[in-house]
Every structure is written in structure tokens, then in C-alpha cells.
Structure 1
């Protein structure tokens, strides 16, 4: 995984069609604010329908859904809504290291069995580094779960947690390094945080720092990400599912 395109919960049919055709390796479907309301229920239904439709085709991007944190009561409803067809994977805000991956893996295994899917079919992408404790917990990701397929840096979250007015600085740079090292130790890609359209040059620095791909906010960014992070230089190899 080198380019993962983020789609907001209110994305329309045209947005989805463009996203599916833009060449991204994966799409990350967001479900919106962590509130049990009609908007989130509608986002779950749209995500499930898209996954179901994509299952009938081949060659498209992998489909991931960003689920609620494990300490939220919404996590069960999020997962229940997605199995039926079952997504290729889920992205989880992972703030307590390996423990959250292992707890999520149990929940996924139960739903895979209920849906008739192979054990381990659903991969886990971890949204990491959103707070200081999450950065310090990165060292235990290696070997935590063979479902793990990527670490993605939530730099915006860390800036908020540290009350930083802008990115950069010693703490952010330390977190970037920790994520790159944790991903390398776990054998999965490290994905740089998204940038606005026109700021893709920031990914050149991310590649130099050791990131092997990036999140995208706009389909037009996918080609630039693929150019900056060539496939032949993607050194990490995703673990096999289990």
C-alpha cells in the first residue's frame, strides 16, 4: 500500500466513482463523527453497499473503513454493519499500542466466522501517533497481530494534543521517526499524513525520512504519491493474514 485515498462520510456517487478509478491502492471510508445518529448510520450503510458492489468486480482498490476507537460504544455497531460482505480491512485509532490490535482482532475473528469469511481475511491499518501516549506505545507493534497491514501517522491529532500552532518541531519529528521505525520492525508500510492539494512536495521529505507511502485527500494526489514512493522502493512487506 503506497497511496490510500481518504473519502469523507458525505462523499457522493460521483466522488466514489472517481475514487475507484484514480489508481489508489486503497480507499479509506470515514463514517463521520463518533455519534450514534442518522448520519453515521447512513455512512455505515453506504460503506457496506460500496463494499458489496466492489466484491463483484476485480482489480479495484482495497476498501478500508475507519471505525470508532475501541473505547467507544460505537465500535460494535460499526463492525456489525460492515459484515455482510466484509471490507478488505479497517483502520483503527490505535492509542494503546498492541493491546488495541489484539482486541480488535478478536472482534474481527468473530464476525468473519459469522459471515463465512476466512479467519484473518480482514486486515488492520493503525492510525497512530495522535497523542503522546500513543507515540510511546509504538514500540510494541512488532508481532502484535498478523492482520496489521499499515501504520498511518495522525500528525494533526498529535498537534492538537500538544497544543502546537503548526506542524514540525522536535516532538513531531520524534513521532515521525518512531512511526517509521515501528513500521519497519512490524514489516508494514509507514504512511505519511495527508497534505492539501499543491503541497505534495512534503511527501519528498517523508520519503527521505523513511515513509513508504502516504494518505491522500484528493484523487489528483494519487499519481504524485506513486511517483514519489516508487513500488520498487517499498521496502516493507505486509504480513500474511492470520
Structure 2
């Protein structure tokens, strides 16, 4: 996985079509604010419709859905709704270590059995390092779970948690390095944070740091990511071909 393109619950049908046509290795559908209300229920229903439509297309891009945090009551409702069609994977919005990942793996195994899916069919991506505890837990991901598909460094959330006015600085740079090492030790892609402008130079700098891909916010950024992170390059002992 070199690129993961995010789109939200308010994306138009044209935006969704553009996301699928972008060439991204994976798409990440967000369900919106983590509240049990009509908006989230509509977002779940739309996610199921998008997943079902993707299933009818041969060779469709891998589709992940960002679910509620594992410790939230909403995660059960999210997973129950999604395991009609079943996404290719789920993304954890804040994954503070391997224990969180393993709790999600158990929840997925139950839903897979109920839906008649193969055990392990649903992969897990995770935003990591988004708060101080999450940064300190990064080393726990080595060998954490065979379902793990990618680790994405959540730099923006870390800056908010630390009260920093902007990205950068010694603490954030240390956290970036630890996120890169965590992905490498887990044998999965390490995805750089999104770049608002989609500047190829920023992607190139991320590659030199050790990231193996990046999060995209718009379809046009995907091509630039793929120019910087060549197909087939593998600097890790990946657990799978995700």
C-alpha cells in the first residue's frame, strides 16, 4: 500500500467515482463525527452501498472504513452495520498499541464467522502516534497481528494533543521516526501524514525519512505519491501483499 485516499460521508457520487478512478492502492471512507445519531447511521448505510457496488467491480480498489475507537460503544454498531457486505478492512482512528489492534481483531473474527467470511479476511489499518501515550506504545506493533495492513502517522492529532501551534519540532520529529520504525518492525507500510498541497517535494522528504507511502486527501495527489514511492519497492518484510 503506497497510497490511501480519504473521503468523507458527505462526498458526492462524483467525488466517490473520482476516488475509485484515482488509482489509489486503498480508499478510506470516514463515517464522520463519532456520535450515535442519524448522520452516522446514514453514513453507515452509504458505506455499505459503496462496498456492495465495489464488490460488483472486478479488480476494484481495496476499501477500508474508519470505525469508532475500539473502546467506544459506537464501534459495535459500526461493525454490525458494515458486515453485510463487509469491507476489505477497517481503519482505527487512534490505535494506542498492539492491545487495541488485537481487540479489534477479535471483534472482526466474530463478524467474519457470522458473515461466512474467511478468518482474517478483513485487514486493519491504524492511525498511530496521535497522542503521547500512542507514541510511547509504538514499539508494541512488532509482530502484533497478521491482519495489520498499514500504520499511518497521525501528526496533526499529536500536535493538538501537545498544544503545538504547527507541525515540526524535536518531539514531533522523534514521533515520526518512531512511527516509521514501528511500521518497519511490523513488516507493513508506514504511511506519511497528508500534505495539504500535495507537494511532491514533501512526499520525497517523507520517503527519505523512511515512509513507504502517504495518505492522500484528494484524487490528484495519488499520482504524485506514486511518482515518489515506486511500485514494487519493498524495504520491509511485509506480512502480506496488502
Fold shared per TM-score above 0.5: yes
Shift, 1:13, TM fit = 0.6
Q: In structure 1, what is the equivalent of residue 81 of structure 2? A: 81
Q: In structure 1, what is the equivalent of residue 169 of structure 2? A: 169
Residue correspondence of structure 1 range 35-74 to structure 2 within 5 A: 35-74=35-74
SS at match of 2:232: helix
Paired with 2:238 and 2:15, the residues of 1 have a C-alpha distance of 29
Q: In structure 2, what is the equivalent of residue 99 of structure 1? A: 99
Paired with 2:197 and 2:23, the residues of 1 have a C-alpha distance of 17
Residues 64-103 of structure 1: CA deviation (Å, up to 9, x unaligned): 0001101211000011111011100000034430100110
Contact 1:92 1:124 in 2 (8 A): yes
Distance 1:164 1:84, change over 3 A: same
Aligned residues: CA RMSD: 1.2
Q: Which runs of 5+ in 2 are unaligned?
A: none
Paired with 1:182 and 1:134, the residues of 2 have a C-alpha distance of 12
Paired with 1:79 and 1:99, the residues of 2 have a C-alpha distance of 19
Residue correspondence of structure 1 range 7-156 to structure 2 within 5 A: 7-156=7-156
Q: How many residues align?
A: 241
Contact 2:96 2:128 in 1 (8 A): no
Q: Which moved more, 1:28-37 or 1:196-205?
A: 196-205
Shift, 1:170, TM fit = 0.5
Distance 1:237 1:17, change over 3 A: farther
Shift, 1:187, TM fit = 0.3
Paired with 2:53 and 2:238, the residues of 1 have a C-alpha distance of 26
Q: Which moved more, 1:232-241 or 1:175-184?
A: 232-241
Contact 1:45 1:81 in 2 (8 A): yes
Shift, 1:201, TM fit = 2.1
**TM-score of the aligned structures, taking structure 1 as reference length:** 0.97
Question: Does 2:239 correspond to 1:239?
Answer: yes
SS at match of 2:124: strand
SS at match of 1:232: coil
SS at match of 1:27: strand
Paired with 1:238 and 1:115, the residues of 2 have a C-alpha distance of 28
